[in-house]
Chain A
Amino acid sequence: MGRLSETDVIKVAKLANLSLSSKEVEKYKAQLSDIVDYFEQLNEVNIDNVEPTSQTTGLENVFRSDEVDPTRVLSNEQALSGTENTHNGYVVVPMLLKQKDE
């Protein structure tokens, strides 16, 4: 365990939706391996019967009433203001499915 292979780096980049150059793959392979090696020291700590902490507020299940708060709703114009790629009041997204004859 620990050191990352080139295959690991390419797989992680794919999971993270990042496209890396071969130079970047080389670089991250070395750097991430260094960092992951550093994590090995956690094996020294006795964590038997220790509960994991994911947050520190001590709060549980904070509810709000299921009502629309009009002050927090963006107008259609506002919601689309971040992109020029719109069509009939919608955002245009990249095509996910290929045409049958392609």
Chain B
Amino acid sequence: MDLPISIKNLHEDLKSKKYSLSELTDTYLRRIDTYDKNLNSFLTVTSDLAYGQAKKYDQILKDLGDKAFEQYPLLGVPIAFKDIYLTKGIRTTAASNVLKDYIPVYSSTVVERLLSSGCIMIGKTNCDAWAHGASGENSDFGSTKNPWNQEYVPGGSSSGSAVSVSSGFSLVAMGTDTGGSIRQPASFCNLVGLKPTYGSVSRYGVISMASSLDSMGSFGHTPDDVKKLFDVTCNPDGKDSTVTNLGSSNLKHKVKRIGIPKEYFVEGLDSEVKSKVMEAAEVYKKLGYEIVEISLPHTKYAIAVYYIVQPAEVSSNLARFDGIRYANERSAFGNEAKRRIMLGTYVLSSGYYDAYYLKAMKVRSKLIEDFNNAWHKAKVDVILTPTSPTPPFKLGERSSDPMQMYLADVYTVAINLAGIPGLAMPCGFTETGLPVGFQLFGPRFDEGTLFELGTQYQQNTNFHLQKPKL
């Protein structure tokens, strides 16, 4: 069976009765059975649930015909959830031994909304424990491998969700992006990945990492797919008070100028990545967009700010895990979680708060000012940068040196600190066949511009259609 490449494609196939949802679900589950032993992208496969939902929607399709798609906009979409989204009655671990046997008694808003829109849940995916990492290697349940070359990391922390979509184990997947945890693995696995505006999608029922940064987003092969998931998951649920009503994610204004920040093309950027990203900018130039160099002068401080603010919030969020009401004791925390708890506790502790945490919060304001100047003074509508300074790196290459691993986030963390949206796009391969990606940033709540520009790029390129040989 030819797997669908997009939700639109899936719905056309269902309308022309090319296959039933039961057959499609069976195909995905068999692929997991065959290939995931090596890749290790799933922690829990929910086969019975998936077959049950597929059967239910096959019947609904039979009963309602094409009207079923109006009632269920995501009808039959096979989806995987990062194992950090609570799923009622289904084990949720955050890939940590602390939550090894934890069964939630409620589901996150995102899961509820996607399932009630017609999605079929395939399972829960592996990730860096507590979403701490950029390689997938911090999972307490073993590393996930990159399907493009299994000696390489798939990126992280949403490693399993990226690998699931890339390997044809699900059509789309949900991840979380606190400092690049969707965009970087999307880039490493040849996928589209959305980090929405902070305050557009409810965090309710998602295990908290850093509460002022956590963004709930998705992976797919096309910008239209991540848009469709975003449209269902955004807007208030009454349970996360940061969420505001944004109306629609359609294009709101004419886009003319694309900014290229010079600080993202400095020493440390791999030459192959640089040339692929510049080729992507060239595609937009040919489409009639004006490409202008801009400056985001505080970019080089983003990692330092992020690795103060984020561990501070992590140490506070993970303080609740005392092993009393649920979960295992604190001794079950892995290395990276302990390191971040320690670091966060240190920068918040008496005598160091002003020197580190308060200062980081002030430089965070400067980073936000940089972006505001880009929109309002340099008058760009969108910003284009590489997603990762390097192509995927080898398993084990950076895992012994935390500072090296943290630097992998250099191009992704700034927009989490600023709260703006970002869309990662695949844009080619290195000579050795590893995926490369670029990302687009927009002003707050301007996802519409990102979806439109992403779609136009794919209308003129076919990198997103390439699949790994498993």
Contacts and interface: CB of A to CB of B under 8 A. Distances in A.
A59 B242 contact: yes
A13 to B, nearest CB: 7
Nearest to B331: A19
A45 B365 contact: no
Interface in B322-364: 322, 324-327, 330-331, 333, 338-339, 341-343, 345-346, 349, 355-356, 358-364
A20 B330 CA distance: 11
A39 B363 contact: no
A53 B342 contact: no
A16 B341 contact: yes
B301 A41 contact: yes
B105 A81 contact: yes
A interface, over-half SS: loop
Nearest to A47: B362
B366 A47 contact: yes
B325 A17 contact: no
A22 interface: no
Rank and list the top 6 A-B pairs by shortest CB-CB distance, nearest first.
A82-B326, A56-B419, A52-B361, A62-B241, A47-B362, A78-B105
Interface of A: 1, 4, 8-9, 11-13, 15-20, 24, 28, 31-32, 34-36, 38-39, 41-42, 44-45, 47, 50-57, 59, 62, 64, 72, 74, 78-79, 81-83, 85, 91, 93-94
Interface of B: 102-103, 105-106, 198-199, 212, 238-239, 241-242, 244, 298, 300-301, 303-305, 307-308, 315, 319, 322, 324-327, 330-331, 333, 338-339, 341-343, 345-346, 349, 355-356, 358-366, 368, 402-403, 406, 417-419, 444
14 contacts: A12-B342, A16-B341, A17-B330, A31-B402, A39-B307, A39-B356, A41-B300, A50-B363, A50-B366, A52-B365, A55-B419, A59-B244, A82-B327, A94-B324
Given A38-B307, A45-B362, A74-B105, 9 more contacts: A13-B342, A15-B349, A28-B339, A32-B342, A34-B402, A35-B343, A50-B363, A53-B368, A62-B242
